[in-house]
Structure 1
Amino acid sequence: MSAINLTKETFDQEVLNSDKPVLVDFWASWCGPCRMVLPIVEELAEELTDVKVCKVNVDEEGDLAARYRVMTIPTLMVFKDGNAVNTTIGAKSKAEIMQMLQ
């Protein structure tokens, strides 16, 4: 399954009300580091069954970026039980992202 594209209409249902941890990638198409991370995020979406993988295009969903105070992209956030429990900024390796999920 590929990463779920989130909007402000779907964010609460897909992320905050999820019964499993959720990795959210805040990104933009013009961002070089975001383009480096995106294939890893998509790969994780295909591989992981115990984690939901989602992405937010900050150009299209500025309200969501503002809601979570995303000032720099890429920003990766892990949500559990409706709360952001881990955040990292900048391009990360697959191993670093996996470690965030632990």
Structure 2
Amino acid sequence: MATIDIWEKIFNDTISGKYIVLVNFWAAWRRPCRMFAPTFSKISEIHTDIVFAKVDTEAEPGLSAAARITSIPAVMAFREGILVFSQPGAMNAAGLEQLISSIKELDMEEVRAEMAAATVS
């Protein structure tokens, strides 16, 4: 599956209920973003079971601010609507593959329990 462009109005619908969604926050003027884009796109073609989305931070400053994006490129990963990873900086293909493997291996019941415990304290 190719990457899709998303914006503020569809962001929550895009990340909700999907198995895994990877979001690349980027800007066309930023060289590291342009260098990371082909890697993100190539990996999206391999993992057709994952939604690969990108947010243009220039066009979506409100969404970028809400996501607390301070440096681009930045990757956020959601599994079953829960943020499980967020990191600024480009990744190489091996790093992105490792991230995907780690997300697939997550015990989501454990993640939910940790979130509930953090909310209580």
TM-score with structure 1 setting the length: 0.92
Which segments of structure 1 move beyond 4 Å, counting only runs of 4 or more? none
What are the ranges of 5 or more consecutive residues in structure 2 without an aligned counterpart?
103-121
Moved more, 60-69 or 81-90: 81-90
* Alignment partner, residue 3 of structure 2: 3
1-side partners of 2:61 and 2:68: how far apart?
10
SS of residue paired to 2:8? coil
Aligned equivalents of 1:46, 1:90: Cα separation in 2: 21
Task: Tell me the residue number matched to 1:43.
Answer: 42
Unpaired runs of 5+ residues, structure 1, are none
Range with greater deviation from structure 2 (72-81 or 82-91)? 82-91
Aligned twin of 2:33 = 34
AA aligned to 1:9 is: K
Identity of aligned residues (%): 34
Query: Whole-Å Cα distance in 2 between the matches of residues 97 and 30 of structure 1?
Result: 23
Secondary structure class of the residue paired with 1:23: strand
Higher relative contact order (CA 8 A, sep 6+): 1
2:54 paired residue number: 55
Q: How does 1:51-90 map to 2 (within 5 A)?
A: 51-90=50-89
Q: Which amino acid aligns with 2:95?
A: E
1:99 maps to 98
* Cα displacement (A) at 1:92: 1.1
Match of 2:115 in 1: none
**How many Å apart are 1:50 and its aligned residue?**
2.1
TM-score under structure 2 length normalisation: 0.79
**What per-residue deviation string (whole Å, max 9, x for no partner) do you get for residues 4-45 of structure 1?**
100111111111x13211110000001111011100111122
2:111 is matched with: none
Q: For residue 92 of structure 2, what is the amino acid of its counterpart?
A: S
